[in-house]
A and B are shown apart, each in its own frame.
Chain A
Amino acid sequence: MAWSWTQLSTVSFSTEQISSKNQQGFSIIESRVYSSSSPLLLLPINIYATPTRVSLILSLTITMSSPLRTSPQPPTLDDEISALQSKTSTLLTSPSTLALLSSDPKLTSQSSLHQSHHLQTLYRTCATLTLFRAQDPDPNAVDAGSILGLRIEVVSRAKFLRPYYVLFNRPWASSSSLPGPQRKWLRVHRHTVPSCIPLSGLAARYLPSPDKDDTRRKQDLGKFARGVRREVVRYHARLGTVADLRKAAGLGRGGDGGDKSGLVDISPADAEVRHVSVEWGDGRTGRLVIGDDGEVEKLVVVGENGRDREAGRELLGGLGLAGTVKAEEVVRRLAGTGGA
């Protein structure tokens, strides 16, 4: 069941094929029963995907499978149950079983449930932005409680995190003073995006509130969704980079160690993790600013006698000036010297 790149290249992008591959390749990886979070879960009704992204994400998921499968711990009962469940699911949806099942209405209905779920997870894996419908339990909710949910998948440290959700409603649905199309405009109702993501700014840009005098105003859910995802992915990439920097400098969770590189602390210095503070054992402190594309935008090191440009160059390791160097290159260089 091991996958390699050669096999990947043979994958054509018809959804059915990938979905069956998906079951075989990944069915054992995730091993917990989970419950859907939305009160009323439907199929994704909109996706943003390109073939290139599909291949990218597939390669990601494959790299993540190896450490999990070789875990030395003996399987617990829960693991075994969920492994069995995923096997059942794979069995139920394979074409050969389907042919056998055609006479049993109960099993076929179960099978079609599994199939639609597979299709949904496939969209979630590959498109990473999916929409669903939900119901607001508040009896006074606007628009009879109809909710449109946006699900944003994030991969961090080779694992899919719990998706971030943005839930929209249509508060202007019954407003008679607005022209027809504007009554269907969306507004962010609830969300689980962390507060360091400028969600309100993005909403003000792409999902403005309607104005009957201003007909040029437009809402663009696609741009909004892509904008939020971009920010969320960048945020997690920066978090990952800081964790990698710490690891490369030999800083454990306790904060000790790191004598090889002379660094004693690397930690995020602001909410967005754009600024990273770096501390050396001899009292020098530095500030590293990570840009949008993961480049080291700025780097300042201050020692006892003012600014220490030498230390800054040393940290970048002669890779170039701040602004051209990627943060990952600094990680790699630190890891190199740490191991030497």
Chain B
Amino acid sequence: MSRISVPTTAPLPSSLRVNPSSTTVTKILSRLSRASLISVALDWLDEDNLSLATPYLRPDQDDNEEEDDGDFYPPASSPEELREEYLSLQNRKGSKRDVLDRITTGDWRHGVSLYQLAIADLQYLYDHPTSQKWSAYNIVPLKAPREDDDGEVQPLEADKTSLTIPRFHPSLFLKSLQAQILPDIKAHYNLDRHKTLPLLILRIFVIDSPYNTPLSLSSNGNMDTGSKTILIAFPDGSPNIFISKPTSTGPTGASESKSLGALLAEGIPKALSLPRQRVTLQSTSLTTRNLEGLLDRRGATRGNAAGGGWSIYADEKVKESPLSTVLPSPPLSDAAEEEEQGNGDKKRRERPTVEERVNKRAKLVAQARFGDTARVGDGKGVERVDLVMEDPFEIGGDDDADRMDIEGEDDGEEAFRPNVRLTFHGNHVFAGIRQLVECGVIDGEKMPGWMTGEEGVTIGAVRNGRIRGHKGFGL
């Protein structure tokens, strides 16, 4: 440990220990449940992680001495012993407080390393998958910089005709990202694979200090006032990245967290660029808390640009080999047939009432418009959709009173465009709309396409009944 703090451009080392009584540590650890805390502690004690998460052990020479009186959590003599201890805690009942105290004042009283904090933070993400709000960005190649006639460098534009798919190399990316980050803040990076989803998660922990020594992390230092965490997810086999909204521990102003976001948004494309192959990030107007839903719309699947009813084209379970000589049955005909056969069994059943027929029709229409997407239990929901209507308001009669009732701004021209913004809220917005169609509340045949979620965006402007200029398909 160096005695002098020298400003440096290096990242914070993973082994750097943080005072366990600091607010950041307490905050990260105390939001985990008891079971998660124990599993995190066992994770720390794992053979591979031990070098970066060394617990406080009893010094060898003290072996013969009697245990210190007053030490509530006597130090263990070996990591194995400690592992046993936590395994037995797992089987015992108790409060979360006990485990937390044991970690902060007992086994890791000399400090919790940044690596340990990163593991604990990711555990929270696994426990609460919707805790982060992710925005999806598309990585697009840029044209080579050009100079105009006056010798001035033109602003870079996206190369639409490029056939290269941007590549991502984790360690190279980290190295260049570190070079992009200004020297007056320090960051700790931790790359990890998501446990269940095909994602690589990069956690960036930023503190507002030019030093990378324990002093800068001390409890009265900068850590508690200006530390921020940002998560970046790289889906496998897809030129998209997902960036989470930065969360900060201290009372920071909105401008500060915004500036970090801007800094990263600027730094990430530069770090992703390779020599002679520059890239930029393009927003894809998709923001959600659901990582699985994001992967479904921006991952390496077929359904990226075929949402809603079009998903029948993307369904890989459907076999459609050209070697089959069996006549294809058009979609939806299976369900209709089954129904017919069912009716045939119960001979002479009274004819379906009008209501039944309407219900059946509504279900079929919903199936046609949504395909197999937007099911309540599919776990691919978005929780918020914001739309701006830019269509002119069609006035049915010449009733001026009605017209005046509607709040909005008039163009003064023939077209009257009220300022209408629609926000859909819920666990799974499009499944909700589907249910309404199935119940017959929404007329599925007249329903505009943007209500099926087939565009794959959560922010958009509707003009002529269609979402205008969405960049989702990049075409």
B-contacting residues of A (Cβ < 8 Å)? 22-23, 26-27, 29-30, 32-39, 41, 61, 82, 85-86, 89-90, 113-114, 117-118, 121-122, 124-125, 136-142, 153, 159-160, 162-165, 167, 187-188, 190-205, 231, 268-272, 274-275
Selected from B165, B316, B449, the residue in CB contact (under 8 A) with A141 is B449
B324: nearest residue on chain A (CB-CB)? Answer: A30
**A172, B445: Cα distance in complex, Å:** 24
Main secondary structure of the interface of B (DSSP, over half): loop
Q: Known contacts being A140-B465, A200-B473, is A35 close to B334, with CB within 8 Å?
A: yes
CB atoms of B238 and A167 under 8 A apart = no
CB atoms of A188 and B475 under 8 A apart = yes
Selected from B368, B445, B447, B475, the residue in CB contact (under 8 A) with A39 is B368
A56 shortest CB reach to chain B, Å = 15
Q: Known contacts being A39-B330, A190-B310, A196-B238, is A160 close to B321, with CB within 8 Å?
A: yes
Selected from A36, A140, A187, the residue in CB contact (under 8 A) with B329 is A36
B48 shortest CB reach to chain A, Å = 15
Q: Known contacts being A162-B318, A200-B160, A201-B161, is A190 close to B305, with CB within 8 Å?
A: yes
Interface residues of B in 248-299 (CB under 8 A from A): 298-299
CB atoms of B300 and A35 under 8 A apart = no
**A122, B322: Cα distance in complex, Å:** 7
A57 shortest CB reach to chain B, Å = 10
Q: Known contacts being A34-B328, A35-B331, A272-B165, is A137 close to B309, with CB within 8 Å?
A: yes
Q: Interface size for chain B: under 10, 10 to 19, 20 to 34, or 35 or more residues?
A: 35 or more
CB atoms of B331 and A23 under 8 A apart = no
CB atoms of A200 and B474 under 8 A apart = yes
**A269, B324: Cα distance in complex, Å:** 36
B28 shortest CB reach to chain A, Å = 32
A-contacting residues of B (Cβ < 8 Å)? 160-165, 167-169, 236-240, 298-306, 309-310, 312-316, 318-331, 333-334, 368-369, 445-449, 454, 464-466, 473-475
CB atoms of B323 and A163 under 8 A apart = no
Could you say which residues of chain A place their CB within 8 Å of the CB of B473?
188, 190-191, 200
CB atoms of B324 and A199 under 8 A apart = no
CB atoms of A202 and B163 under 8 A apart = yes
CB atoms of B306 and A165 under 8 A apart = yes
Q: Known contacts being A192-B314, A195-B300, is A33 close to B326, with CB within 8 Å?
A: yes
9 additional contacts, CB 8 Å, given A35-B334, A190-B305, A201-B163? A30-B323, A32-B319, A34-B318, A37-B313, A137-B369, A138-B465, A140-B466, A190-B454, A193-B305
CB atoms of A192 and B324 under 8 A apart = no
